Structure 1
């Protein structure tokens, strides 16, 4: 099984191997299937979060019955697992950074963070994160290309995460407990098959909804998957491990992951959800040769995000919700308004 450090290198090599004109390196489905304009029009920059209405917000608020709060983010730290060559480094300049000032001798500290800020730890994938190499260029959500005016290495302009952040997410959260369904943590998939126990299919989603006794998944919902893979890197005990144990767990976490197969992703898209999330690093299954239910790596990313504007939250801590069997809850979160960024860190909140 390739680690996702190796996978990142393979993806980069595939892109670098030829330009948009190299037929073997293009996928024109976004053009021939007319993925753009989106259902919200050619000027839309926010995606499926547009489905949120005052009525859906008020309905979601009524799910708060016990007054409990769960924070779903994990701790950002230099020793946490990260995709490819991504890393996190935090330093406190000066110690203290400034002061003393005035007669009371005030001092203060700042922090300097060096990281891929939108794509590290608990992370949100926005409009500028996932695209498709087509014969007309690098295609992103709603028919935008990396060569468009206003899109540059200094910021992605109309693809920036701030456009989603203007809306924010207030929705009915749905927890799908695949660990309960399978009778234990799901394994990394070995085959491109709906029968592989590490791949969660559309039928599995229907069965979990039925077993958990919750209302069917519907428009405006935010859907979260518990696979058990996230327990390899769990915030409650991570700092108790020594460096060798952490390194072993990072390698195990990065080696692949159970998750949604493409049939489940298409099922959720048909029900017009607005967000997916999970306790692992890609939400979808990453198994044999980095594929899932099909051989294509990250097929759900393409079909949900690039095609439909249904965004993604990765590396969530769902343990409190699982322990309380809180399968429906009020979910509240917004990306940071980082102009032109691909995504955002954050600490989402579930209330129930």
Structure 2
């Protein structure tokens, strides 16, 4: 059944791809080479990529940011409703409804399942998730390292719990708008302007979370297909993030701006971050409560804790990260 006019999704506005800054494949490949960190880590550690750069000192520094003890969850509700931004809804059903385990108590049990690499479930992308020109991070052959049995290299199990300093780049707050429209490309200059406006500087081993206001827009205007229109990073911002030595990137989208500015590539930021730089990604975070908490605290840095499921061979995991201020 087609949705009624009242329930119809709000289509993203049309506009020039990637904010009008087109990038050829030749230019993209040069950018890929410029930010590539293959060979930086020992073979046994390469599957963790940039996360190897997070030391005990970085974790202690993140813990030192905790002042009020405010805990802000960043994961979306488990989304079982189909829609234009949820083509593969998550599953939840009961498996036991009060069955008695002799002589007592009664038990209620349920099942969860998700094809989570989409536009709805909050999840972590491990380094095995994306290949480019047949290669995973560190130059590993994708066909040899990722198969039907899972990933032999760069799995989410290699990452483990992630704790570091998080930085919220709240672009709508900087620009004085409720949200960025789909197709809005966040460029290197925007990153620098946001740092100045928010009084924060991205540093080594940081997790950078980009708020576009996606879920506020969704609540007020209705859902749309982020695969065809989403605010996110333009590829020209990735060299600056690489220079700063970030360990993790996250967003309320999936970090990529769409339409893509790169010819023939749907998710170029995924290829640069995961495959070239070895930087894991957090997708589909709800950053609205964090935006309010950071504004109230007058600071945009906090301790970030991400604990993915321990899935050997997994290319990622559903997550509910928390920011602690």
Where on the TM-score scale, by shorter chain, does this alignment land: which range?
0.7 to 0.9
Residue in 2 that maps onto 1:243: none
Residue in 1 that maps onto 2:206: 221
**2: distance between equivalents of 1:30 and 1:201?**
14
* Residue 137 of structure 2 is aligned to residue 145 of structure 1: no
**2: distance between equivalents of 1:338 and 1:29?**
34
1:61 Cα deviation (Å)? 1.1
Residue in 2 that maps onto 1:40: 41
1:169 Cα deviation (Å)? 1.5
Residue in 1 that maps onto 2:152: 157
Where does 1:1-352 land on structure 2 (aligned, <5 Å)? 35=36, 37-43=38-44, 44-79=46-81, 85-96=87-98, 99-103=99-103, 105-117=104-116, 121-133=121-133, 138-148=134-144, 151-165=146-160, 168-184=161-177, 185-189=179-183, 198-214=184-200, 216-233=201-218, 249-251=222-224, 253=226, 255-280=228-253, 282-287=254-259, 291-292=260-261, 296-324=265-293, 325=295, 326-352=299-325
Counterpart contact for 2:37–2:277, Cα < 8 Å: no
Q: 1:347 to 1:218 in 2, by over 3 A?
A: same
Counterpart contact for 2:135–2:142, Cα < 8 Å: yes
Counterpart contact for 1:169–1:334, Cα < 8 Å: yes
Counterpart contact for 1:155–1:340, Cα < 8 Å: yes
Q: 1:81 to 1:203 in 2, by over 3 A?
A: farther
Q: Give the TM-score normalised by the residue count of structure 1.
A: 0.75
Query: How much is the aligned-residue C-alpha RMSD, in angstroms?
Result: 2.9
1:114 Cα deviation (Å)? 3.4
1:121 Cα deviation (Å)? 0.7
Q: Give the TM-score normalised by the residue count of structure 2.
A: 0.81
Which structure 2 residue ranges, 5 or more long, are not aligned? 1-10, 13-24
1:156 Cα deviation (Å)? 1.1
**2: distance between equivalents of 1:186 and 1:265?**
19
**1: distance between equivalents of 2:32 and 2:195?**
35
Q: 1:277 to 1:28 in 2, by over 3 A?
A: closer
Q: 1:159 to 1:252 in 2, by over 3 A?
A: closer
